[in-house]
Structure 1
Amino acid sequence: MDKTILRNLEEVYPTLLVKLCADGQVNYMPVQARLGADLDSFLRYCSTIKPRRYRIQDRREVYLSVRLSDHAGLEKHILSFTMDLSEGGCFVASSQVWEKKQKLYLDIICLKDRTPILCEVRWSRSWGINPFVPGMGLKFLRITKSQQEQLLEMFSPAMRKAI
């Protein structure tokens, strides 16, 4: 695993170095000084932390026109746009209410391969509830290899400037 990723995780999560000595003794050392110097203080600190998710995939602000439907043929669809994009999904702006775990089909207009991408609604945000843009986080369930490659190209610095 990349050392940079590990260092970033150490900034977010309490981290404990564990060393097994040749004599069978186990030594523990919290990486962050604020956690104390022994295993008990580390565990006490960990028990006070509220669990949270940490996004593994890089997410980029990318605005792409899309069609969205709950039918594979996209006969009945809404027009919208993405606000961010990752290898595994995207955020699509929408004032329409979508249920968590609902399956949807996404057509990203700028892709050469226009095969509808099967997605699942991971979470949604309703219109007018808070100051954020309404919409939903989508996870790609079925996406073609060529669509993946085209989306990954959008992460290159030159392509991001062109979007």
Structure 2
Amino acid sequence: MKYVFILVLLLAASAPAVNKGTEWTGVETDFSNRFISHMEIESIHCQSCILRNVQAEFAKFKYGFCKSCNFSDLRGTGLQMRSINIENGIFQRANLRSSDLSAVRAYQSDFSEANLSMASLWSADLRYSKFIKTDLRGANLENALLKGSDLHGALFDAHTRLPFSKEEALRRGMQWQP
């Protein structure tokens, strides 16, 4: 079921946000504390936006680009963000359990202390990203690009599919959770 989403912004942002049905566009706009669960967002084009504490369970972003946006504390169990381009995104403490982030480009993003358990990050470009103390148990990171990424304290288990061996994961500072 597709929902029509109209976002009313009563914000004093440095640049106005534009919302046309299911499109989010903004520069330095605060979208915090919004409820978009189960909604289908056609596109998102944001730069330096704040999307903290957004409730986005089972929402779907079809396409878009986010540069230097803050998604901290996002509640996005089952969120679909396939192939979205995210540069320097902040996802600290975000709950992205069972989300589909396949082929997402999250270059230099921070997923520290996020819950990515059971998430699909298949073929994602996660180069130079932070996964410090991130829950990756059961996640699929096959074919993911992780060059230069910090994985210290990231949790993984027998169901986690990594682009490298268990031994390499332990060398990179990941923690095995049987």
Q: What TM-score results when the alignment is normalised by the length of structure 2?
A: 0.21
Larger C-alpha radius of gyration, 1 or 2? 1
Structure with the larger strand share: 1
Q: Which of the two has greater helix per residue?
A: 1
Higher relative contact order (CA 8 A, sep 6+): 1
